[in-house]
Amino acid sequence: MCEVGEQARLLRDGHADVALMHRPFDDLAGFDTEDLCVEGQVAILPAGHPLASRDQLTMADVRDVPDLPIARWPRLDGSYPEGPGPEVHTRSQLAQLVAPGKTLLVIPASSRAWQ
């Protein structure tokens, strides 16, 4: 078991032989892959945010929300991409930032159960 975004490192350093990864977000470079499932995405937003009342959103709708920047996960080298969103390391940290309106997240539909 590992946190989001750690699978590639664990595979590369030999601590794992197989992993479930999320295309297009995980780094699949150099791996033999097999698509097991294709599923929709859901956006998790603070309950009172105007976008939360919509039935459907596109990535364009949530990519650049001025008052709600998308959280940034560390790259393989530990650095973070540029951007206004908070730097996160764990799913629990991320969940604690959504409710008070610090960020939003886009996850596979099956992952919303932990949210």
Give the model confidence (pLDDT) of 52-100 as tens digits.
899 899 988 988 888 898 888 887 788 898 988 899 988 788 888 988 9
With H, G, I as helix, E, B as strand and everything else as coil, classify residue 41. strand
Of the candidates 24, 54, 28, 18, which has an alpha carbon nearest to the alpha carbon of residue 38?
24
What are 18-43's pLDDT values in tens digits?
A: 998 887 778 889 999 999 988 888 88
**Helix-, strand-, coil-residue percentages of the chain, each rounded to 5:** 25, 10, 65
Model confidence pTM above 0.75: no
- Supply φ then ψ for residue 92, to 5 degrees: -65, -40
Q: How confident is the model at residue 115 (pLDDT cuts 50, 70, 90)?
A: low
